[in-house]
Structure 1
Amino acid sequence: MPPPRRSDIATVELIGGIEKRELVLADPDPDWPRIFQIHEYRIRTALGSTAVSVEHIGSTAVPGLAAKPIIDILVLVHDITAEEDYLPPLVNAGYVVRVREPGHRLVRTPSLDTHVHILQVGDPAAADYLLLRDHLRTDEADRLLYERVKRDLLARSWEDMNAYADAKTEVIAAIKQRAREGRLQ
């Protein structure tokens, strides 16, 4: 793989600033995979071979798991610094840039119901997203634990969705550790 075209950005840019949003947990919806497929087609059409991989991640990718009704998608590109290869095509396809931070970009739908995370091939965060998704698909105890923690956290008030996401870090780390240990057995 060729080296990045330039150094990555060094700061976090949250376009539009902090947003106070009502966070709700929805029962599992059998339409979530179909909605992902619609976006996968839209993304692949916009990006062509720039999109090395397009994966459904997050809670809506786990059958039987209650989730915020937001479809999370992981797109891997060869060079995260080459924003000109993926951001304008995604914006032209109807997505809006929300986050630009080192190693990660995020675009979303104007209706705020789909988040597209863009990472570079080989980024450990990509493997972590898939590890968590795949483990929760097969481990009922951890799936129930994760849902319980999310329900407890959503009973509180959050300044923005990022604060809520940060509050889940501890349980997610523990689940990923169990998933890694399970792979070694």
Structure 2
Amino acid sequence: MLGLPKGEVYLIPWTNEWVTEFRNESEKIKSELDELVLAVHHIGSTAVKNLSAKPIIDIAIELNEYQLGKQCVQGLKRLGYEYKGTDILPDRYYFSKGEPRTHQIHMFQTGNHYLIKQLAFRDYLIKDNEALNEYQTLKETLSRKHQTDKITYSHEKTEFINIIMEKLGFN
């Protein structure tokens, strides 16, 4: 039930297996990285019950200091992750696992505004069924429209996400 081939965009219905997979992977990460990690968070759509998602487990690792991310690279490689650098997405170390990709890690310094926004958006969808249903419909429409264009698929979700973030007090 996990794995999204390069160049494809499709959703599958939410499954409790994603929660189990996150927990298992989180334990491996904590065991491997030990005191370097403050927290490991399940983020993205697989973290939101009843929301269809691309079959990739999104993980946020919270570090006390940003530069500690460099010390995590070898440990995550031992767990099968490929280090993609700090230039893919802003203010984070980025890792992916598998081909097709099954997991991705976004590694942030604690207090990072991107991490805070990720957690706030996730939590809002968990609590607000109307927003969850709206987002589900949008994602289904966009995944059918952009089956081979991940960038456009993601970009076209931005307006919805920004409206929610404004409601939450983020600008």
RMSD of equivalent CA atoms: 1.9
Bigger shift: residues 150-159 or 170-179:
150-159
Offset, 1:159: 5.9
Match of 1:32 in 2: 18
Instruction: Give the Cα–Cα distance (whole angstroms) in 1 for the partners of residues 120 and 147 of structure 2.
Output: 27
| Counterpart position of 1:138 | 127
Q: What are the equivalent positions in structure 2 for 1:108-123 lying under 5 Å apart?
A: 108-111=96-99, 112-123=101-112
Please state whether the residue corresponding to 2:146 is helix, strand or coil.
Answer: coil
Residue correspondence of structure 1 range 165-180 to structure 2 within 5 A: 165-180=154-169
Shift of 1:138: 0.8
Q: Please give the residue correspondences for 1:1-185 in structure 2 after superposition, counting only pairs within 5 Å.
A: 20-101=6-87, 102-111=90-99, 112-157=101-146, 160-180=149-169
Is the partner of 1:52 in helix, strand or coil?
A: strand
Shift of 1:20: 4.7
Alpha-carbon deviation of 1:133? Answer: 0.7
Query: Does the 8 Å CA contact 1:20/1:161 hold for their aligned counterparts?
Result: no
Sort the Cα spacing of 1:86 and 1:163 in 2 relative to 1 into closer, same or farther, 3 A: farther
Q: Give the Å deviation of 1:45.
A: 1.1
Amino acid at match of 1:106: Y
Once the two structures are superposed, residues 73-101 of structure 1 have per-residue CA deviations (whole angstroms, 9 ceiling, x without a partner) of 11011222344311121112211123422
Contact 2:8 2:148 in 1 (8 A): no
Q: How big is the shift at 1:69?
A: 1.1
Tell me which amino acid in the other structure corresponds to 1:130: L
Q: Matched residue pairs, number? A: 163
* Structure 2: stretches of 5+ with no match in the other structure: none
1:152 aligned counterpart, secondary structure: helix
Q: Work out whether residues 10 and 147 of structure 2, in 8 Å CA contact, stay in contact via their aligned partners in 1.
A: no
Paired with 1:30 and 1:177, the residues of 2 have a C-alpha distance of: 30
CA drift of 1:158 comes to 6.0
